[in-house]
Amino acid sequence: MPYSSGTTGLPKGVELTHSNIVSNITQLSPEEINYLQETTKEHQDVIPVILPIFHIYGLVITTILTLLRGCKNVYIPKFEPKQFIDILVNYKPNVLFVAPPLVLFMTNQDAVKPEYLSPVRDILSGAAPLGAADEQRFLAKAKKNITIGQGYGMTEASPVIALTNKKKRCPPGSTGIPVPNTEFKIVDISNPNGPSLGPNQTGELLVRGPQIMRGYHNRPEETENTITDGWLRTGDIAFYDDDKNLTITDRLKELIKVKGFQVPPAELEEIIRKHPDVLDVGVIGIPHKLFGEVPRAFVTPKPGAQIKEQKLQEFVKDKVASYKELKGGVQIMDRIPKNASGKILRRELKDLYKKIEDKS
Ligand SMILES: *[C@@H]1O[C@H](CO)[C@@H](O)[C@H](O)[C@H]1NC(C)=O
Ligand SMILES: *[C@@H]1O[C@H](CO)[C@@H](O)[C@H](O)[C@H]1NC(C)=O
Ligand SMILES: *[C@@H]1O[C@H](CO)[C@@H](O)[C@H](O)[C@H]1NC(C)=O
Ligand SMILES: *[C@@H]1O[C@H](CO)[C@@H](O)[C@H](O)[C@H]1NC(C)=O
């Protein structure tokens, strides 16, 4: 039972059955989406396990799937640049299952020498989108034909929903077609129960298949809001082309993705609201060169109180896992934008941040 914040709110236990997980692994069998080479007397793929196994990707893909296929797994207790580079040098991995920040790390760090990448045959990137330009920059550094696949999934789907074809080049930015036995539809975000939309039309992605969770543990209401007639609301905005290749364009759900990890803004807001000088707060994710996104807090102090950015960052740091820290900074505001029923309008905070960034 891994945890996920779903489309809103605090983390919830995701009930994945044995059947969900076995189904998802079986859905990854077709030749054109199988990134692992068969284990024989002469060959065994070596896989560094970088994402922790409390993360659905580290658990089902980099551990269960690879063990089933007879790979040799090299576990890293915690990602440390030097240790990762040592593994490249000493274990010569063939396949890297990564999130985009690790591709950026390998591209940008001089300590990762191109020759260290020579045993690498395939890379599968997931947990957040990897840009086409970032992919090209990595390949230019590696000076080698490495197949880079992209996957799309979520904890609630055990996790894989779609994967790019290994042999045929997918359109840039696309995550390929859904894995076998997976249905999808795109619906109007303002009318999710209305008719589904056709090719090239952007809306919320809904998914149905044997890998979809049973529900959120002890949260019947949230389960009901997320799954209708077996269709899972992904909270992601997407479109598909005439061949049903899916492209994810935006996120409707609120979670922030730091190095591929979920950071639910509501969790940070709850912590920050406990600070004696804070009247109100709203948290969003802002873009970060290496981590993908990082959390930034917009804070309204209590009358007469003063809030120092660094002090508030330390206050949060003491209470959360390191990837949840306020690395995106703190901004003081007179008022947090909300709609009439008190819902924080994170979109407005994002627009405000973007305006300030564009100016500087
Ligand atoms: C790299 O892969 C592409 C596409 O599969 C192929 O056309 C090309 O010849 C390969 N280049 C090298 C150097 O192997
Ligand atoms: C969809 O992706 C496949 C590769 O998997 C590619 O051959 C095909 O041209 C793509 N379709 C469109 C409409 O771009
Ligand atoms: C979708 O967009 C592609 C590329 O712009 C175009 O070739 C195709 O005809 C469009 N399909 C539909 C059904 O509109
Ligand atoms: C405020 O937003 C919430 C969540 O999107 C929505 O359910 C509610 O109807 C909105 N209230 C108003 C008055 O717009």
- Pick from 156, 258, 162: nearest CA to 211: 156
pLDDT average, residue stretch 91-105: 93
The band of 79, judged by pLDDT with boundaries at 50, 70 and 90, is confident
Would you state the pLDDT for residue 191? 86
- CA–CA distance, 244 with 169 (Å, rounded to integer): 14
Distance 266 CA to ligand 4 centre (A): 16
Distance 285 CA to ligand 1 centre (A): 38
Q: Return the ∠ at Cα 128 (arms to 86 and 225), rounded to 5°.
A: 135
Residue 25 pLDDT more than 90? yes
Would you state the pLDDT for residue 173? 84
Radius of gyration of the chain (CA): 21
Helices (H) and strands (E) in the chain, counts: 10, 20
Would you state the pLDDT for residue 244? 95
Q: In the structure, which protein residues have their CB atom closer than 6 angstroms to any atom of ligand 2?
A: 165, 168, 170-171, 176, 241-243, 245
The type of residue at 259 is K
Q: Which residue from 166, 174, 239 has its CB within 8 A of the most atoms of ligand 2, so it is best to mutate?
A: 174
The band of 255, judged by pLDDT with boundaries at 50, 70 and 90, is confident
- 14-180 has CATH 3.40.50.980 classification: yes
Residue 69 pLDDT more than 90? yes
Among the residues of 227-273, which ranges form H helices? Answer: 265-273
Query: Does residue 133 sit in helix, strand or coil?
Result: helix
Residue 232 pLDDT more than 80? yes
Q: What are the sequence ranges of the domains in the chain?
A: 14-180, 255-355
- CA–CA distance, 14 with 3 (Å, rounded to integer): 6
Mean pLDDT, rounded, of the chain? 93
Residue 214 pLDDT more than 80? yes
Q: Locate 346 and state its tokens.
A: 């994170």
Residue 341 pLDDT more than 80? no
Would you state the pLDDT for residue 105? 92
Among the listed ranges 28-37, 42-51, 153-162, 186-195, which one has the minimum average pLDDT value? 186-195
Would you state the pLDDT for residue 133? 86
pTM: 0.87
Q: Which residue from 8, 252, 339 has its CB within 8 A of the most atoms of ligand 4, so it is best to mutate?
A: 339
Q: Which residue has the tokens 């999710």?
A: 192
Residue 213 pLDDT more than 80? yes
- CA–CA distance, 144 with 2 (Å, rounded to integer): 36
Instruction: Kindly state if the Cβ of 190 falls inside 6 Å of ligand 4.
Output: no
| Ligand with an atom nearest the CA of residue 247 | 2
Tens of pLDDT along 265-314? 989 999 999 999 999 999 999 999 889 899 999 999 999 999 999 999 99
Would you state the pLDDT for residue 9? 81
From the candidate CATH numbers 3.30.300.30, 3.30.420.40, 1.20.1250.20, 3.40.50.2000, the one assigned to the domain spanning 255-355 = 3.30.300.30
Would you state the pLDDT for residue 170? 86
- CA–CA distance, 88 with 90 (Å, rounded to integer): 6
Look at ligand 2, atom 11, and give the residue with the nearest C-alpha.
Answer: 243
- Measured from the Cβ of residue 136, the count of other Cβ atoms closer than 10 Å reads 13
Residue 321 pLDDT more than 80? yes
Tens of pLDDT along 105-142? 999 999 999 999 999 999 999 888 888 888 999 999 99
Would you state the pLDDT for residue 250? 83
Tens of pLDDT along 129-188? 888 888 999 999 999 989 999 999 999 999 999 999 999 988 888 999 999 999 999 999
The type of residue at 304 is G
DSSP H or E segment with residue 137: helix 132-142
| CA atoms within a 13 Å half-sphere pointing along the CA-CB vector of 115 | 2
Q: Locate 19 and state its tokens.
A: 């059947």
Would you state the pLDDT for residue 90? 97
Q: Which residues pair with 207 in a beta bridge?
A: 184, 232
% residues pLDDT > 90 (the chain): 81
Distance 339 CA to ligand 1 centre (A): 53
